[in-house]
Amino acid sequence: MTATTTETLSVNGVVLNTLAKNIQSLTGRLRAPALRTDNVTVPGRHGTITTPNKKYEEGQIVLPMWVRGNDDDGNNVGRSQFYENVDTLDNLFRPGAGLLTVVHTLPDATQRRCFAECTEAINMTMVAGGAYPYATFSVALRVPSVFWEDVNAVSVDLLNGFNGDITALGGTTAPIEDAVFKVTGPCTSVTVEARYNNGPADDTMFFVYTGIIGTGQTLTIDCGTWKLTGTGGLVVDYTKMFNTGSSRFLTILPGPVGGNPQLKVTFVGGVGGTTKLNVSARRKFLVG
């Protein structure tokens, strides 16, 4: 396979930047999702009241593409190869086929992915026929989970009293709602707060677990699944878990331009040398 650019896009492992099928431009891909939450209108006063922690609509991607009558390396030129390419694309972008794994490899070789579904059938426009067929078309995709993300998660250990930047998540441009926090005891309580620009978020966001986590025990808090898991004999108690400001246990906020996401960690009671919080998360991006 001959990739025509160092910057490529693949769908379910099929590279779409070849001599047989290609994306014409970034048009339709660099589209940030719209906000879904509105401000609140109050009778008897001008304007509106700002709603913090607004939610986004699902993401939209449109790929303007072309397909030719040759294989990915430019060989086997002819109409038979053209129809084979068309079948490959129709099967790949079949509406109703479920979520597709879309991976964008950037010029610096880093990768971002999203999970999208095709919403309309391909409609080819023939540009050239004969022995050298060539057609253009567009693919419309929806991203139910809204954001692009890193392919691999990063993992960071934080100690008691930490209050500052999570530099490993630097560059994040969208909220991270599926982070996994692992608390290693001993402690009798742990509080984790999402911070913004060295202060509390506009809508204060934190979770606190007030149950005892003993030496040799861990508590895993999965924000993406709302699941608590204990090890070392720890029996989790959901009645001791409280959170505020987020629809998940905690949302990690992107920092301002030039800044990083921030967290504040507070352990209480019987804190020892092994006590720590591990954060595992993928950076999120408004565009791919």
Q: 91 lies in a domain?
A: yes
CA–CA gap between residue 85 and residue 103 (Å, rounded): 20
Looking at 146, 178, 202, the residue that finishes a domain is 146
Q: How many domains does the chain fold into?
A: 2
- Do the Cβ atoms of 122 and 130 come closer than 8 Å? no
Q: 3 lies in a domain?
A: no
- The pLDDT profile of the chain, 288 residues, written as one tens digit per residue, is 677 678 999 999 999 999 999 999 888 888 899 999 999 999 999 999 988 889 999 999 999 999 999 999 989 888 999 999 999 999 999 999 899 999 999 999 999 999 999 988 889 998 887 788 999 999 999 999 999 999 999 999 999 999 999 999 999 999 999 999 999 999 999 999 999 999 999 889 999 999 999 999 999 999 999 999 999 999 999 999 999 998 899 999 999 999 999 999 999 998 999 999 999 999 999 998
Residue 241's identity, in one-letter code, is M
CA–CA gap between residue 16 and residue 249 (Å, rounded): 38
Q: 12 lies in a domain?
A: yes
- Do the Cβ atoms of 169 and 252 come closer than 8 Å? yes
Q: Do 41 and 91 sit in the same domain of this protein? A: yes
- Do the Cβ atoms of 66 and 85 come closer than 8 Å? no
Question: What number of other Cβ atoms are within 10 A of residue 278's Cβ?
Answer: 15
Q: How many residues make up the chain in this entry?
A: 288
Beta bridge mates, 222? 180, 227
| Closest to 33 measured CA to CA, from 144, 136, 127 | 144
Q: 68 lies in a domain?
A: yes
* Domain residue limits at 136: 8-146
Looking at 93, 120, 146, the residue that finishes a domain is 146
Task: Return the half-sphere exposure (C-beta side, CA atoms, 13 A cut-off) of residue 87.
Answer: 7
Looking at 146, 168, 192, the residue that finishes a domain is 146
∠ at Cα 269 (250, 239), nearest 5°?
45
